[in-house]
Structure 1
Amino acid sequence: MNILQNIHAVDVHTFSWFMARKHRVGFTRIGRAISFSADGPLYALLALSLWWLEFNTLVLILVMGFALERCLYFLLKRGFKRNRPADALENFSSFIIPSDQFSFPSGHTSGAFFIAYCLSKFFPEFSVLLYIWASHVGLSRIFLGVHFPTDTVMGALLGTACAAIMVGVLV
């Protein structure tokens, strides 16, 4: 059994544990709202607001960083072609319809951690709240049934790495 099969087996087991939680339906309702907060159009609105408030360096970091993050995200999605839980597991349906076919990495989680990192550098007093929100975005994607846990972990790493690169280059 190779390492990817081992990771997938642990992932399926962990995913099943999440799905077996007694209060999963409540988590799913809350998860929809949290997941929506990490949709792309809201990031554009955030960047426009920050530009209007004259946080020009931060806006540049967001625009350039998201360009890098999205390129890497699409390369990874198309390269790994990992099926989503509803396609990989028998008798399972997700609670929402995902916007694309593949699962790895989680784009919502990547974007959320990218935003959390960038905003934390400029507004450190909100760091804890930003990272709590980003973590909840990742958890919501699992509870909605569209990602395995490692998808969200790798999304968090991707978003954080792209943010760290852009902050390092542009600040």
Structure 2
Amino acid sequence: MLSLQTINTFDTSLFYWFQSRRQMHAGVTLTSRYISRLGDGVMYILLGMLLAIFEPQDGAAFFRSGLFAFLIEFPLYLFLKNTIRRDRPCERLSVEVAVKPTEKFGFPSGHAAAAFVFASVLSQIYPSIALLAYSIAMLISVSRVVLGVHYPADIVAGAAVGIVCGFLSVGS
């Protein structure tokens, strides 16, 4: 069985691997900033509203389910983050962050949770774009590690929260 120390060591090593990629390729940081911004929330609201307007049946179902999913995800994410209180890598390690985090703690990642809520709901209502939706969610999530504000485990936990909330909301 894996110990918490072993998991933490692997998580930190993987974090440093992403940081080395950022340092090796100048455009990675800029690209990651733009990708990360996709997960700030505006895109989710805008796309949900557009689908509700232009796809009256499926779009409205998507909007309702998405809203319900975010109403479950956000308090759960806040509860976990403020209960677990895991420092961000930029607080614990000597790394330079490319963006300023809005909160002190990093576990689970709110960007990953929101991106995977969105992808999960979208893929259930519009299965033909599931691969695209999950790919974008993964890019948003990985960008947060590249930018230095999350460990990979923060992303995995956020994705799990998002997927569970997304699947619970559709059909409710």
TM over 0.5: yes
Task: Return the offset for 1:129.
Answer: 1.1
| CA shift digits 1:78-122 (9 cap, x unpaired) | 011111111111x21211001111110111111111111111112
Change (3 A) 1:79 1:24: farther
Matching residue of 2:7: 7
Q: Counterpart of 1:20 in 2: which secondary structure?
A: helix
Task: Return the offset for 1:4.
Answer: 3.1
Matching residue of 1:109: 112
1:30 and 2:31 aligned:
yes
Unaligned runs of 5+ in 1: none
Q: Aligned Cα RMSD in Å?
A: 1.6
What letter corresponds to residue 8 of structure 1 in structure 2? N
Aligned equivalents of 1:23, 1:166: Cα separation in 2: 41
How many percent of aligned residue pairs carry the same amino acid? 35
CA contact (8 A) 1:106 1:147 kept: yes
Unaligned runs of 5+ in 2: none
1:81 and 2:82 aligned:
no
Q: Counterpart of 2:106 in 1: which secondary structure?
A: coil
The number of residue pairs the alignment matches comes to 167
Task: Return the offset for 1:24.
Answer: 4.2
Task: Return the offset for 1:148.
Answer: 0.2
Aligned equivalents of 2:26, 2:147: Cα separation in 1: 9
Aligned equivalents of 1:80, 1:24: Cα separation in 2: 33
| CA shift digits 1:120-159 (9 cap, x unpaired) | 1122221111111111111101000000000001111110
Aligned equivalents of 2:109, 2:34: Cα separation in 1: 17
Q: Counterpart of 1:26 in 2: which secondary structure?
A: helix
Task: Return the offset for 1:56.
Answer: 1.9
Matching residue of 2:164: 161
Q: Following superposition of structure 1 onto structure 2, how do residues 1-171 of structure 1 map, counting pairs within 5 Å?
A: 3-21=3-21, 23-53=24-54, 54=56, 55-89=59-93, 91-167=94-170, 169-170=171-172
Q: Counterpart of 1:95 in 2: which secondary structure?
A: coil
Aligned equivalents of 1:135, 1:88: Cα separation in 2: 24
